[in-house]
Amino acid sequence: MKKAYINASSIRSICGDTKQTLDAVFNKKSFLATFSDIVPNKTICIGRFPDKSTFEELLYSCVNEVLDGSNLQDFSNTLLLVGSSVGGMAETEKILFNENSYENINIQRHTINVIASTLDKKYNFLSTRSFSTACTSSANALKVAKELINVGAYKNILVIGADEICSTTIFGFSALGILSDEICTPFQSNRKGMNVSEGIGALLLQNKFEKESVELIGAGASSDAYHIANPDPTALGAISAINKALHDAALDSNQIDYINAHGTGTQANDTTEAKAIQTIFGEKIYVSSSKSNVGHTLGAAGAIEAAICVEALKKQLLPPQIYCDDNENSLNYVDIVKEAKIEYALSNSFAFGGNNTSLIFGVCHEN
């Protein structure tokens, strides 16, 4: 069986480019902002890209960074897998709101596949596929990429997680009553909810080991189908996904050194995820959520947080959580950036409909 190595990655977030985003994550900086002119009679805290570039330009720069940092000359022998929650919905909204009409909306620019097709036109990929499973979209794309490389189906797979913020998502989460008016405080007893945001993450998976490779060693998924918006409070779905990832990686729970939690800051998600972590790992394992830094980037979250785990493994640094002073439970939150021996890191992604995905990344010892 071939191994799936991550040999290049990049991020575009509300914090900036890859370097700026990682600096924010490892130094407890947040670029989330409050707005009182979006949802009537409500103040919300969300994440928006700086107005310097369009979403398409940021997408191209993210892909270019991966290509420049890789051993590839082009993507002609590379499969593209894109995970997104809203696809081209933001573009549709702009036309609708600007013209107060749907007549000039191009349905081909609305679909989930529009991101993959846009990239394919510019880079000429071997083939493309798109995933839309809400907040697990790019995590599931990474899982499939690993499996395809493991069986030798492809040598190179570029995984993109990308979501642009739009009114439909903002008003949808507002209607559910889970948007916070402050920077989110995952797992804390005073938490008010989540911060919807936008972002792009890109990771190149290959069957070839390189000097700074990080292996995607395990992946597990489950669907508890408990409720359309809330996770199963027994945490059985989350527990199943994590255990499947451990089994896939041939690891015991005590071998995981760090968990990048889904950690949205909502009451239902945090309670369920904490229960799953405590059931499998106990209370000593290091845990943190990056969503206070970059917000909840929906379908892009799995890819962005995977890139954060890759950096943690390369630098042997634990990324801290911005707020962890009012813990509702006894999880071992990373309060400041710490040097630590990290062999394996777990990243959780949980979505509406009970869709759960867990990924395990490991340090490579080959030469």
Closest C-alpha among 204, 179, 198, 187 to residue 21 = 198
CA 177 remoteness from chain centre = 22
Catalytic residue among 15, 45, 296, 324, which? Answer: 296
Compute the distance between CA of residue 18 and CA of residue 195 in angstroms, rounded to an integer: 20
Q: Which of 15, 45, 62, 135 is catalytic?
A: 135
Does residue 262 have an active-site annotation? yes
Single out the catalytic residue among 45, 62, 166, 262.
262
d(CA 109, CA 105): 8
Task: Return the structure tokens found at 227.
Answer: 């409720």
- By the 10 Å C-beta count (0-12 exposed, 13-18 middle, 19+ buried), 96 is classed as middle
As given in the structure block, the two tokens for residue 72 are 């590839």
Amino acid at 231: P
Nearest in space to 155 (alpha carbons), one of 232, 76, 88, 96:
76
Task: Please confirm, yes or no, whether 135 is among the known catalytic residues.
Answer: yes
Place of tokens 């103040």: 43
DSSP letter string, 98-122:
HHT-STT--GGGTSTTHHHHHHHHH
Do 258 and 345 contact (CB within 8 A), yes or no?
A: yes
Residue 202's nearest CA partner among 2, 63, 340 is 63
What are the catalytic residues? 135, 262, 296
